[in-house]
Structures are given as structure tokens and as C-alpha cells.
A and B are shown apart, each in its own frame.
Chain A
């Protein structure tokens, strides 16, 4: 999962970045509204966390620009302006969720998880479930037929992406784009290695390889 964090307060951004990376997200960070307006629309993010009080361009305008440009990426607004009138304005501009500062990092993580599930049509699930697997995003482990399987951070990130896109054909470059932030080295061989690890832990059939096209998470363990 690749997220864009737009926040101009550096200490807060540092805190958020550290927490989000611990949660297994690839995060790009921007502090200026104009940069955010451009990069948010061009890079394939899975979710955007947007502060409203930004230098360069107000967050609300950035959001309106994205939405009028047809961007459908879920946007979570993070702001100190918590009045209901401002909340309504934010959601009217096209936000999907609204959090007022200060907040507990855990709550932010839960909101991000549920927003991602909702964006992929998996609403009303307390946990991410797909194909007989239950992913515990807090502990970064997966339950399969009642038994718990431990995952490495990289495996967790990959499996979470697969589970949110169950049944879809995903190319290696697509996976690389969504699993690593803009500054990491993207090596498609690494993905191959992690796919193999997942297969070893959860069964061969769980991820199907389509030669020349990519991977498809089916999870048909039967």
C-alpha cells in the first residue's frame, strides 16, 4: 500500500511517517500544497492523508482540484479545524474521512485500514478477510483455518495488497509501484522472492502466476 502524506508541520509528519512505515505502508511525504496537487494526481497512490492548512495552496483547494481531475483515490483529511461546518465543507470537497487533531496514532491506523477496505468494496469488516484468510493488521500476522501464521514485514505488505485486490491480475511493476515509496529502489526480483515465501507459508495455489502478465491472488485453498 502506497500512501501520500501531505503535512507541513515537520515534527508531526516525522511521527506520522514513522508510525505508518511501522504499519507496513510505503509513504511519500510532501509539505507544500502545490507539490501535493501535482504529485497526488500523477503517482498511483492507494490513499492520501491531507492536512488542510498547507503552505502554497490550501488543502481544500488541492482536494477539489484532484476530484475535478477525476482522481478517485480515498482521501483522509487531517486537520485542527474540527468544527462541524468545516467537516461538512471538507467532505463536500470530496474527502472520504475526516480526523481532527490531536488524535491517537492507533485511531489513524484503524481509520486508514477501514478506509482502504471500504475503497475496495470490503466494507463492514472489522478485519481484512479474503479467500479464507484473515489478516491481523495490528500484529501483522494471518489466520488460516484457525491457525496463526507469522509474516515478515515485506510478506505482510505484499499479502495485504493481494488481499485487497483479490481476483485481480497484478503485474510485477504495478506491485512495485504500490509497495514501495517514490525513493526506494524497485527490484521486481524481490517481489518474486516474497511471492514464493508467501506460497511456502500459505500454500502454492494461493497466488497464481500468469506468465508474462503477473500474479493473481485467488486464495482457492480447496
Chain B
């Protein structure tokens, strides 16, 4: 994605360059044209003066030197002539050792001719009829000084143009960034939204942005509301299903059924399956996943409550510790993260002898949650199996496998990775690597 700022600058620069160059070049060309036009008339006058200098002398036609301007006598003065008669041809002294080549057509020659000392000649030819014979007069004038001043002017225009361009760009940047400031503000707020640092966009925006911001806020509120309602509905459904299930579980333990152990066993098994299925599916349906961009989990305020809950459930004999950077906020839904951490820590507490530790840290690719316990751990060969099936290894500790299943669902929904390893505390280490959300 290219930024609007850069796109505007690029457009402005190309338009200014094209227009500026066209303007400068065409004005130079027009100036050159009119200058040549003016010089043509002076050169024409010059030929007439020269024609006047052709007089009839004692030995036929001759050139009256007195009528010639001094510039024709000084070598390479910048003004030259050549007069062609029937048999003879006169050339000015200023030509010295150079030849002034004839041109075919009468009038000013379009192309400049090469002269001595880097001179550029403007050559004019005029045809006359005098004393009964044709006289062809060529006059040349050095155009070099004017070309030089042209290139001088070109350089000045270029310099002025470039500095004007820079000035215009700077001003444009200033104006655009001023005009786009509300957009930039919205962009920053969206970023904060993604990182879970805010849950709504500011309403104080220009008229043009108002519908966008209002729509985003509306969508956010709507998503949150929908999530809350569906969670509530799921809670009700769970209540409606689990309460009768509790009755059935209780009925299955009745004295009367103790006489029929097989029946009781299969009843128990089926009930357990229903229970697990309900818990797993409801748990999965409750997940917010990535639906809420403004969701966040504030470690410092949520973790103490979670840990006091765990202490209450598992008793005081366990030493529970957590570590996270001060002020760390994880950009995921609070309930999802509590479910993830609650299940993992609950498992760790069930197996631990005396110690359970949680570390949360930010890494380059996202966040890493590490849970260590000093329990028996899981044999390296069995770890993959535990992960792949979310199965329960030990039927005695209820809910172990189920908890991992829900944890897997949550981690998958976030595109994270769940790993089991040996803990430095000798027990199991569960590592959850969560990638940053795509922005």
C-alpha cells in the first residue's frame, strides 16, 4: 500500500516537471525564433549595403572598399561576406583562411554553419541582378554569443525551477499532512485497537471521516454485543443441558443400580461422553477468536485473581507464581485467555508437587506463555500423543485431557503453537507461542 502523501507528491512533481520544462523550452524556442527573424532583416540590410559597394571600375566591376564596414576587415570579427559574380568571387578579409560555403536557397539558412574559433554562423543569401549580370551575396554572422547567453538563461531557469519545485513540495507536504492529520489519527487509533490498547475510535473527526469512524465503532459495538449475547445464550444452553445431566449422573450412582454393575458402567461411560462433548463444543463456541480487535488482557489485573482462584481450588500447599512485564497487555479476548491459562494452570496444579510457575513475555514474533510445574512430567515419547489427541493419560485426574482439548482449540483459533517439554523444575513445561495479529 502506498501512502496518500507519497502519491500526491509524485503526482505533483511529475506535473510540475512536465509543465515547467515545456514552458521553459518553448519560451526559449520562441525567443530564438524572433531573434533570428530580427537578425535576418539586419543581414538583409547588410547585403544591400554590400550590393551598393559593387561599382563599375576601370577593369570592370569592383568592390568599393570605403563603403565596407570595419568589421569585414578584422579577421574572425564575427561578420563575413562572400560575393559571387559570373567569373569572380570576392570574400571579406575577416574570413581570413576560412571558406564561406554557398547555400542553395535564398534567405536565411535554418542550420547554423561551423566557423573558426568555435563560432556558429547564421548564413544569409541574397540574389541580385546588377549591371546586367547576377550577383549572389552571402552574409554570415556569429550566433555563438547569443547561444551562450541562451544556455546561461537555461541554467538560471533550471535552478529557479528546481528550487521552486523543492519549495512547492515542502509546502505541499505541510498542507497535505495538515489535511490528513485526522486520517493519521484514525490510523494510529486503529493500530491501538489492534494492539488492544483501546476499544473504540474517537468520535471527534472531520465531517468526511465521520461515517467511517461511526461505522467502525458501530461494528465494534455490534460484534461485542453479539459475542456477549451468544455467550449468554451458550451459557443458558449449557445450563439447560448440564443440569439434567447432573441429575442423570446422580441417578446413575443410586443404590438400585449397584446391583447391575454393567448397566451402571455403560451408563456412566455414555454420560461422560455427553458431558465431554458438551463441554468441548460449548467451549469452542464461546471463543471470541480474532473477532474483536479491541479485546485485551491486562496481566497485572487479571492474573492475581486467576491465581487466587487456583489457590482456593487447589489449596495452600502449592507455591504459585507468575511473572510478566509490568503493564503488559495481551491483545486477545479476556475470557479466552482466562480459559487458556486457567486450564493449563489447573492441569499444572493437579500434577505439581509444590510449585507452579507462569511466565509471560513478549518476543519478536508475538508473545510466549510458559507454564512449569514440578510434577512427574510427561515422557518425551508420549508428549506428541497427548498433544495430537488432547487425550487424557490418567483417568484418575478428571478433566486433564479435556482441558488440553479446549486449550488446543483456543491456540488454533489464534494461529499459535502449543508445545510440551521438560521443565527446569523437573516436571512438565507447556509453552504457548502466540503470533501477533496481522494488521
Report A's interface with B, CB cutoff 8 A. Answer: 9, 11-12, 15-16, 19, 53, 79-88, 91-92, 96-98, 100-106, 123-124
Contact = CB atoms under 8 A, between A and B. Distances in A.
A100 B242 CA distance: 9
B315 A80 contact: no
A24 to B, nearest CB: 16
15 contacts: A11-B247, A12-B244, A15-B246, A83-B286, A84-B341, A88-B305, A88-B338, A91-B308, A91-B312, A92-B305, A98-B313, A101-B242, A102-B249, A104-B250, A123-B315
Contacts of A91: 308-309, 312
Interface of B: 235-236, 238-251, 253, 271, 275, 279, 283, 286, 305-306, 308-309, 312-313, 315-317, 334-335, 338-339, 341-343
Contacts of A9: 243-244, 247
Contact of B335 (A19, A83, A105): A83
A103 B249 contact: yes
A104 B253 contact: yes
Contacts of B242: 80, 100-102
Contacts of B312: 91, 96-97
A172 B18 CA distance: 108
Contact of B279 (A79, A82, A92, A123): A82
Nearest to A90: B309
A84 B339 contact: yes
Contacts of B248: 102
A84 B344 CA distance: 11
What secondary structure prevails in chain B residues at the interface with A? helix
A85 B410 CA distance: 15
A102 B316 contact: no
Contacts of B275: 102
A133 B249 CA distance: 34
Nearest to A53: B239
Nearest to B275: A102
A80 B315 CA distance: 23
A221 B249 CA distance: 43
A87 B342 contact: yes
Contact of B250 (A15, A83, A124): A15
Contacts of A16: 250
A15 B308 CA distance: 32
A50 B335 CA distance: 23
A83 B317 CA distance: 24
A97 B246 CA distance: 18
Contacts of B238: 80-82
Nearest to B316: A123
A30 B312 CA distance: 26
A88 B309 contact: yes
B243 A101 contact: yes
A106 B306 CA distance: 27
B262 to A, nearest CB: 19
B334 A85 contact: yes
A105 B257 CA distance: 15
Contacts of A98: 313
Nearest to B236: A53
B338 A85 contact: yes
A103 B271 CA distance: 11
Given A12-B250, A91-B308, A105-B250, A84 B343 contact: yes
Nearest to A87: B309
Contacts of A53: 236, 239
Contacts of A12: 243-244, 246-247, 250
A146 to B, nearest CB: 27
Nearest to B245: A102
Interface centre among B235, B316, B317 (most CB of A within 10 A): B235
Contacts of A81: 235, 238-239
Nearest to B232: A81
Contacts of B247: 9, 11-12, 15
A104 B247 CA distance: 10
A64 B246 CA distance: 26
Contact of B246 (A84, A85, A87, A101): A101
Contacts of A11: 244, 247
Given A12-B243, A80-B238, A83-B286, A104 B249 contact: yes
Contacts of A101: 239, 242-243, 245-246
Given A80-B243, A84-B309, 9 more contacts: A12-B250, A79-B239, A80-B240, A84-B335, A84-B343, A85-B338, A101-B246, A102-B249, A102-B275
Interface centre among A19, A88, A106 (most CB of B within 10 A): A88
A124 B317 contact: yes
